[in-house]
Structure 1
Amino acid sequence: MHLSYLDFGDDNVLGQAYSFSGSFEPVLWRSKRWSLNLSSGLGMVYLNRIHHPDNNPLNQFFSSHLSFLLFIAPALEYQWSDDWGMRLSVNYNHISNGGQKQPNRGMNFPQLGLGLHYFLNQEDWPEYVAQEKGVNWFWGLESGVTTRKTGNGDRRELSISLAGQVTKALNPINGLAAGAEMEWDYSEGGHHHPITAPFLAHSFLPGRFVFSQRMAWYLTRPDGVFEKHHFYQRYVLMFSLIYGWDIGVSLKAHGQTASNLDFRLGYRFSQ
Structure 2
Amino acid sequence: MKLVGLKFHLGSVLIHSRELRPIEDSYPTGIELDLAWHKISQKAWESCMCYPKLGIALTYWGFDNKEVLGQGITGLFYIEPVFNTKGRVNYSVRAGLGLSYQNSPYDPVSNPDNQSYSTHIGFPLQLGGTVHFRIKSRWLLNGTLVYNHISNGGVRQPNKGINWPSLGIGMAYYLKEFEFKKRAVKNWRDLGPPQKRWDFTFFIAYEEPRDNLFLLSPGLEIKWSRQFARVNAYTLGGEVMYDNGTGFVLDQNGDESSPVKAGMAIGHEFLLGKFLFSQQFGVYFSNTNPMHSDVYQRYGLVYRITKNFSTGISLKAHGHVANFLDFRVGISL
TM-score by length of 1: 0.90
Residue type of the alignment partner of 1:143: F
Give percent identity, aligned residues only: 31
The C-alpha deviation readout for 1:79-119, integer Å capped at 9, x for no partner, is 24313222222212221112222222222221122223233
Structure 1 residues 66, 227: CA separation in 2 closer, same or farther (over 3 Å shift)? closer
The C-alpha deviation readout for 1:104-138, integer Å capped at 9, x for no partner, is 22222211222232333232223433261434122
1:234 paired to 2:293: no
Please give the residue correspondences for 1:1-271 in structure 2 after superposition, counting only pairs within 5 Å. Answer: 1-129=56-184, 130=186, 132-136=190-194, 137-151=196-210, 153-189=211-247, 192=258, 194-222=260-288, 225-226=289-290, 228-269=292-333
Rounded Cα–Cα distance in structure 1 between residues aligned with 2:318 and 2:259: 21
Residue type of the alignment partner of 2:318: H
For residue 197 of structure 1, report the CA deviation from its aligned partner: 1.1
For residue 192 of structure 1, report the CA deviation from its aligned partner: 4.4
Q: What 5-or-longer segments of structure 2 have no aligned partner?
A: 1-55, 249-256
Structure 1 residues 46, 201: CA separation in 2 closer, same or farther (over 3 Å shift)? same
8 Å contact kept, 2:156–2:209: no
Q: What 5-or-longer segments of structure 1 have no aligned partner?
A: none
Structure 1 residues 162, 202: CA separation in 2 closer, same or farther (over 3 Å shift)? same
Structure 1 residues 165, 46: CA separation in 2 closer, same or farther (over 3 Å shift)? same
The C-alpha deviation readout for 1:231-269, integer Å capped at 9, x for no partner, is 111100001102421111111111211111110111222
Aligned residues: 266
SS in 2 for 1:188: helix
Structure 1 residues 81, 226: CA separation in 2 closer, same or farther (over 3 Å shift)? farther
Rounded Cα–Cα distance in structure 1 between residues aligned with 2:155 and 2:122: 9
Rounded Cα–Cα distance in structure 2 between residues aligned with 1:3 and 1:187: 32
8 Å contact kept, 2:86–2:182: no
Structure 1 residues 125, 10: CA separation in 2 closer, same or farther (over 3 Å shift)? same
Rounded Cα–Cα distance in structure 1 between residues aligned with 2:258 and 2:84: 48
The structure with the largest helix share of the pair is 2
SS in 2 for 1:189: helix
Residue type of the alignment partner of 2:308: G
Q: Which moved more, 1:63-72 or 1:210-219?
A: 63-72
Residue type of the alignment partner of 1:172: R
Q: Which moved more, 1:73-82 or 1:173-182?
A: 73-82
Rounded Cα–Cα distance in structure 1 between residues aligned with 2:292 and 2:246: 14
TM-score by length of 2: 0.74
Structure 1 residues 141, 135: CA separation in 2 closer, same or farther (over 3 Å shift)? farther
State the superposition RMSD in angstroms. 2.0
The C-alpha deviation readout for 1:110-168, integer Å capped at 9, x for no partner, is 112222323332322234332614341222122210222345x5322221221111212
8 Å contact kept, 1:108–1:256: no
